[in-house]
Amino acid sequence: MSLPVSDADPDYLVVGEGADSRRIALRLLPSAVGNGLPALVWLGGYRSDMAGTKAVELERHAAKTGAACVRFDYSGHGLSGGEFRDGTISRWLEESLAVVDHVRPERMVLVGSSMGGWVALRLIEELRARGEGARIAGLVLIAPAPDFTSELIEPNLTDAERASLSERGYFEEPTPYGPDPNIYTAALIEDGRENRVLEGIIETGCPVHILQGMCDPDVPHGHALRLMEHLSCDDVVMTLIRDGDHRLSRPEDIGRILAAVEGVSRG
């Protein structure tokens, strides 16, 4: 299998001003001449980057179908600048908006994985507030984790973790996905409360496909079902994968994800 077309040196986009500026790395695969499919925009998860299996396979799918594809790293992730500990949903949303505004696809399908699902929902909310909701052709959410700070982290904090947040401004948690622990800051948690989406009806104005593993140790499938209830105005399909984990990166999982992308792109 060949490498993605855009696996050369990435382009960079500066977001923010002064001491808050950071260089965001992005890769753009242009659409084939005359291709009318919406661009595919990858929104990664917490501590994931655009070189991950799902992001790369999404671009391979775009190259095969002739669609444009946009991948990028949030600040503090992958090839982008900035400190990971400075990251918040608002900060990563600002970067996502900047990338979309920079590339300017007329129509796009957002593909959000884990935390990227939360960012995708907020991105749509911001675009609709600007009168640009029609640019969203579809939404594919993979193990989506909207409001994970207030819904999945805060209720389960130990006394030691609460003390660490209060005294050090963060706490660490071991992760099976790498040698370094996850770091959750007080700023991330506080900002998460300001970006909640599971508080009323969520309107995307586009077809939505959710893929969720039932053996996901990080985001229980009940969380995805709750999200679906809030998407009461949209055409929503959910695929529950009985033996699926949080990553959903096995070949059969990738096949399901790409089929979902194809479905909403051509729907």
User: CA torsion sign, 144 to 147 to 149 to 155?
Assistant: negative
Task: Identify the three-state secondary structure at position 87.
Answer: coil
Residue 82 within a domain? yes
pLDDT digits (tens), the chain, 267 positions: 344 455 578 999 999 999 999 999 999 999 999 999 999 999 999 999 999 999 999 999 999 999 999 999 999 999 999 999 999 999 999 999 999 999 999 999 999 999 999 999 999 999 999 999 999 999 999 999 999 999 999 999 999 999 999 999 999 998 887 788 899 999 999 999 999 999 999 999 999 999 999 999 999 999 999 999 999 999 999 999 999 999 999 999 999 999 999 999 997
The number of folded domains in the chain is 1
Confidence (pTM): 0.95
Task: Tell me the two tokens of residue 175.
Answer: 């992760």
Full residue range of the structural domain in which residue 41 is found: 11-147+201-266
Residue 247 within a domain? yes
- CATH number of the domain at 42, please: 3.40.50.1820
Angle at 251 between CA 10 and CA 255, to 5 degrees: 85
Residue 156 within a domain? no
Residue 194 within a domain? no
